Structure 1
Amino acid sequence: MSWLPLKDEGNSLFARGNYQAALEKYTEAINATTGNDEEDKVAVLYANRAACRLNLKRYHDAATDAKKATQLDPGYSKAWGRLATAMSALSSYSGSINAWEKAIETLKSKDEKSFSAPEAKQLQQYQEGLQAAKLAAGGASQPVRGINIPGRHGQLPWDRALSMRAELMAQGINGLPSSAWVILGAYDEFRSGVDIMKSGGRVQTPRGLMYQGHTKAIEGITNGIMRDERVFVIDDPSFPDKLRDQMIFECQATKAWETEGPEAIKEDALRRQRQNGWADVRPALAMTIRGWILRAFLESHAKHNHALAVEMTTNALEVLEWGRSTWRTVAKSDRGVIFSDTFTRCVRSHRLQYMMKECVDTASKRSPLQSAERLNEIKSEADAIIREIGDHPLDKSQEYDPGFVLSFVVYPRAAALAIKGYCHKELVKTKTLRGVEEIRDHFTNAGNCYLEAAVSYPEDDEQHIWFLHCAVDNYFQAGAPIKLTLPMLEGIRTASEKVKKIWEYSALAMQGRDQVVRDALGMEEEIKGLLRQGRYTLEDSVCPERS
């Protein structure tokens, strides 16, 4: 059998921890069996490739391979165990429970008295996995909380921005940039999606209980999140259940890929496009990508599972980049908006944020060198986004509303700059730098990045004053002169009232934004007092004590 030597090579590579190379060997072996009478005998190859993908944290592709292995050999307990592991990692706990039960059932099909020591240990692992999945499923059934739940009816940012709509329209597209444009555009999209979602529901029919509704809800909700994620609000206890039902309904209506990974989707999308045309594959791809975007957002913000959010957005980008290359000459009206520069950019921007959050959460588990490597990786991705925005400006022949420009050009660039600033600051903590000068350079670079991010945002956006504050902190650490930091403190003061006009009640306000403003006012007053007393000049550096 020509595939056996390839399988053995894969096993050897896997044993040495070279999972990517092992994956490629198993793929070669699978290709060697395709189309002949050996194809139904090689469940082990798919199960082994699933193990590689589990170790590479490519859980969707791992689930696809493990599922294929169980289809080829329904009695293969290891394949069921790997499918269960992948489904748990994807927070698909009902699927994980079912797979664990199958793993236990198939393993127990032989007499337990004749179990070898490894098989007995395997059974124990499967039973522990089943219990963990059941516990996780119980936790997942609780209402989603903590995502900008409103506390002041009529006073939230979009309410304030709505009251400014007439004023903004009167100023026109050439008026002063305002975050009201951003939140209005995001709110209009998000609310349209929510309204469509709420119009649907389960109804009793002669064929039983069925869901009746309309598509485009997930499109509106994800468009809102991509324009400005701060617009996401849960205003109804039934919202999570309705959102889940809507996701299932739209996946079925568009024939989207619900559990498959990028590799399987790319292969199947080509086949479906050739056989059935764009009317079949375009909505399926759009729903699959938007489903990943929405799930990544919820995993990160509601469950703090940032690693899974990174994987889902990475999956989305893999399919998007592949589609942009494969169908680069296909009209946008055929392949769909998801392959546009601005859409792909927003997915990259979201992934960058999840990468940073995952880095923060796992910092204590890394060595200083590992932390430095991860921070530099994130910083490189931020640089790539900034370059991409510069290399792909908006089409000058088209007219865009200010909210679109801010959401899809200005804000992604500003967010990338802020994350670069964070990476420079955190690199100092890794203690991998050489000497005082290098430390000072990183604080200075952090200050520069935060300052550029701050001034990119409109003055009435809360992120403007937040990142001015971050810039001041890092410039102080770098020993910057007062003449550089004092104008920033003054800027926080002058912008704070503009910010409150829209963002008085926001998630960031609840996280201490207003204390930052009070700190800045205190610093400004203290520094000016020291200057009046002649104790310092504008050329001096000073870090006043905080109250």
Structure 2
Amino acid sequence: MSSGAELKAQGNALFSAKNFKEADKKYTQAIQIGDEAADPKGLAVLYANRAACRLNLKRYLDAINDAKKATLLDPAYPKAFARLATAEDALGNYQESTKNWQLALDALPKFNLTPGEQTQMAQYQAGLTTAAAEVVKMKNTPIVGQNAVMIQGEGRMPWDLAAAMLPGLQGTTNSDSYSSAWIIHGAYEDFMRGVHKMNQLKVDKIDGGSEQMRGMPGAIVDLTNGIMRDSRAMHFTDNEFLSKYNKQVILEISVYKPWMEAGPERAIQEALARQRDEGWDSVRPAVGFTVRVWIMRAVIDAGLRQRHDVAIEFFKRALDVLRSLRESWILVPVLERGVVFEKTFLFGIQHLYIDSIMQAYMLNPTAEILEELETQSDLLISEVGEELHSSQDPIDFTMLGSFHLYPRGSAYAMKGFCYKVKAGLNSNDAGNFHRKAAAVYVKAADSFPQDDEKHPWFLNAALDNMLHARSFPLRQTLEVMKRIRLSAQKAKAIWERSSLSADGLWGLLERTGEQEKELRTMLAEGKFTMDSCVGPELL
């Protein structure tokens, strides 16, 4: 059996070779046989080294845990504070990172620095300067983002228009009632229930100048339920939304005792231990609250700060924790382990996750991100399909839409996006990729009700790829154009004000309608037949 020193040396060699995953394993083995009491500084180095591995693996929450452990074992270890600050920077926690960059500098010798220590000092000072600048930037940046448009036009928001339509949808058959009005209305109701609870929070001053909070727990559950039913329900009700939300989180932490400072690895270990020691009534709300706060953190970072890399980290960690614990508790009834372990809840997270991956690709188009997007999209399509095939429950099209069809539709759309990108990267096989993109974009559209803005939006994406493929007969092209025209009329009744409308959706669809008229005129004039294949240059 290898000694701790041998395992550390092996880990160092693997790290130097950039084999971070295997290096992580070696450091983990060394940590497991280490002795905190006998050699705290040696163990601190192992934790800091493993933190460096996890930084490179983009496991920032786990890196934070390891680096914090290293600073506790050796409070005079500058590299531990530096790695903690680096991980905090990666997650946009600049207030925390400035403190830790300063602690890293304070831990260096004051005089007679070695060349290596001088290099460290320069790196830590640069990190502190950058983090401090980000703190100032965040304070001076107004709260805007993809959801800001949803505050405007009170009374004409999708949820308002949907509510007015619902009486007319009462009494229809299940399939006929598959309307986006039901889904956005339900999502809005859930979200606003959470907002109402946040608004009840009061802060009382007590003896000694400290504060005591009074309020209603459960707001985070309602907010995340609304967002996962339909993320377009997410909006900022006033300029104090984030401040109220942060206070609500503090209140609910005192109720549920979650693992806010833990990365997924530690959260899993402590959840299993708490279940054994304290039972389901303790662990169930703690796990649920932990993953829901991660979801909210991801949504806020993606929507406000366009930090999709941070959003990916939090969505992925929520999925990792739930999948691991679900496997451990697979035979436990839902009422005991909690609804967050249901497949529908996981689909809701995956839906948001793949959107952040796509947005990350738009900002940083790399082959690695595109591959991950396609992999995760395929996984979601497959898992939803399996769940639909095996389910024996009566069909509720509202819940089916939110937690099965919408997620799968988004996954199909992401597949279409991947194929379109590949068409641009592979000129020799562009037509084939455009054909594949068109096919899955139609599947994406069909996953949404005809009165959802995404139905004509994805049909229009399918049309664009059909034209670029130059291999679809006019009868198919015109049929898709007709579907766009008819669904756009229905969708605008609900979605005239939305993020997509702000991006020019309705103008785009109107131009498609004009192009359909032009094609039908040319067809009537004999310039084409229904078997003709047309390209984008003719429109």
> What is the TM-score normalised by the length of structure 1?
0.94
Q: Give unmatched runs, 5+ long, in structure 1.
A: none
* Aligned partner letter, 2:506: D
Shift of 1:350: 1.3
Instruction: Give deviations 1:261-304, integer Å, cap 9, x for gaps.
Output: 11111111111111111122111111110011111111111111
Aligned equivalents of 2:14, 2:274: Cα separation in 1: 35
1:424 alignment partner in structure 2: 419
Alpha-carbon spacing, 1:546–1:87, altered in 2? closer, same or farther (3 Å): farther
Retained in 1: the 8 A contact 2:464–2:536? no
Equivalence map 1:215-254=2 (5 Å):
215-254=217-256
2:134 alignment partner in structure 1: 136
Retained in 2: the 8 A contact 1:185–1:404? no
* Aligned partner letter, 1:145: V
Check if 1:497 corresponds to 2:477: no
1:524 alignment partner in structure 2: 516
Retained in 2: the 8 A contact 1:414–1:456? yes
Equivalence map 1:52-63=2 (5 Å):
52-63=53-64
Check if 1:125 corresponds to 2:123: yes
1:163 alignment partner in structure 2: 164
Which one of 384, 403, 417 corresponds to residue 408 of structure 1?
403
Aligned equivalents of 2:131, 2:386: Cα separation in 1: 46
Q: Secondary structure of 1:149's partner?
A: helix
1:385 alignment partner in structure 2: 380
Alpha-carbon spacing, 1:32–1:123, altered in 2? closer, same or farther (3 Å): same
Q: Give unmatched runs, 5+ long, in structure 2.
A: none
Retained in 1: the 8 A contact 2:444–2:458? yes
Retained in 2: the 8 A contact 1:251–1:288? no
Aligned equivalents of 2:69, 2:390: Cα separation in 1: 45
Shift of 1:341: 0.7
Shift of 1:133: 1.4
Alpha-carbon spacing, 1:223–1:143, altered in 2? closer, same or farther (3 Å): farther
Aligned equivalents of 2:537, 2:418: Cα separation in 1: 25
- Deviating above 6 A after TM superposition, structure 1's stretches of 4 or more consecutive aligned residues are none
Shift of 1:545: 4.6
Retained in 1: the 8 A contact 2:177–2:397? no
Aligned equivalents of 1:80, 1:376: Cα separation in 2: 34
Aligned equivalents of 1:376, 1:121: Cα separation in 2: 37
* Aligned partner letter, 2:512: A
Equivalence map 1:198-217=2 (5 Å):
198-206=199-207, 208-217=210-219
Aligned residues, how many? 533
Shift of 1:546: 7.7
Shift of 1:36: 6.9
Retained in 1: the 8 A contact 2:47–2:69? yes
Alpha-carbon spacing, 1:82–1:35, altered in 2? closer, same or farther (3 Å): closer
Q: Secondary structure of 1:33's partner?
A: coil
Aligned equivalents of 2:487, 2:333: Cα separation in 1: 44
Alpha-carbon spacing, 1:117–1:34, altered in 2? closer, same or farther (3 Å): closer
Aligned equivalents of 2:335, 2:80: Cα separation in 1: 41
Check if 1:481 corresponds to 2:473: yes
* Aligned partner letter, 1:446: A
Q: Secondary structure of 2:532's partner?
A: coil
Shift of 1:210: 2.5
Aligned equivalents of 1:328, 1:40: Cα separation in 2: 40
* Aligned partner letter, 2:350: R
* Aligned partner letter, 1:460: D
Retained in 2: the 8 A contact 1:87–1:93? yes
Check if 1:338 corresponds to 2:340: yes
Percent of aligned positions that are identical:
37
Shift of 1:450: 0.5
Shift of 1:136: 1.5
Instruction: Give deviations 1:407-446, integer Å, cap 9, x for gaps.
Output: 0111111101010000000012223x6x3xx321110000
Instruction: Give deviations 1:232-254, integer Å, cap 9, x for gaps.
Output: 11120111111121122222321
Alpha-carbon spacing, 1:444–1:396, altered in 2? closer, same or farther (3 Å): closer
1:6 alignment partner in structure 2: 7
Check if 1:92 corresponds to 2:79: no
Retained in 1: the 8 A contact 2:357–2:369? no
Aligned equivalents of 1:348, 1:327: Cα separation in 2: 21
Q: Secondary structure of 2:213's partner?
A: strand
Aligned equivalents of 1:533, 1:170: Cα separation in 2: 46
Retained in 2: the 8 A contact 1:519–1:546? no
* Aligned partner letter, 1:116: T
Equivalence map 1:238-387=2 (5 Å):
238-363=240-365, 366=366, 371=367, 374-387=369-382
2:455 alignment partner in structure 1: 464
Shift of 1:517: 1.1
Aligned equivalents of 1:546, 1:251: Cα separation in 2: 60
* Aligned partner letter, 1:384: L
